[in-house]
Amino acid sequence: MPQRIEIKGLKVSSSHFLVGHPKCSRLHGHNYYISVVVIGPVDKKGFIIDFSVLKKVILDIVEPMDHRVLLPKFSPDITYSPIELSGCPVYYIFVRKKLYVLPVEDICFLPIVATTAELLSKYLYLRLKSFYHNLEFKVSVSETKGASGSFELDDDNMAEILGLVRTLKSKTKGVATS
């Protein structure tokens, strides 16, 4: 019989913007708090998964996001142009009528269309699922107290998610960082 464990309050500080949003289209930051519920069978030692192992995997996944600007690779509204300025690798980031110039080391590109809490939680779910295919997860990402997006597998998204997990699994090959 499956049981649940939960890790709460893992913090990542990042900035982002949401194209076309009246307020959030401006570059701004959050202290994101990540919670993960794990559902699965208890093993012979009495664990679904060791908390310290799970926490390390989650931190390895989110570390590249911490203290960086989160940018969606697949937004149709954003164009990225890498360039070198005075020996410094940067990206020109064109967003409608705005231009950002950011150092490469300050950016975390994510394979999503927008950096909403909903899509960040789905991205984290997929990364976890690619390492622990036999466990089920509910991943929540909070932007502020009382405002979070969550993702978990259900009948409506199962085929899509299983295909994405296979793709991620083949790309990560056991490496827990992005």
Active site residues: 24, 67, 143
- Give 8-13's long-range contacts (Cβ < 8 A, gap of 24+): 8/33, 8/35, 9/33, 9/34, 9/35, 10/34, 10/35, 10/36, 10/55, 10/58, 10/59, 10/62, 12/62, 12/65, 12/66, 13/66, 13/67
In whole angstroms, how far apart are CA 148 and each of 59, 98, 114, 151?
Answer: 19, 28, 15, 10
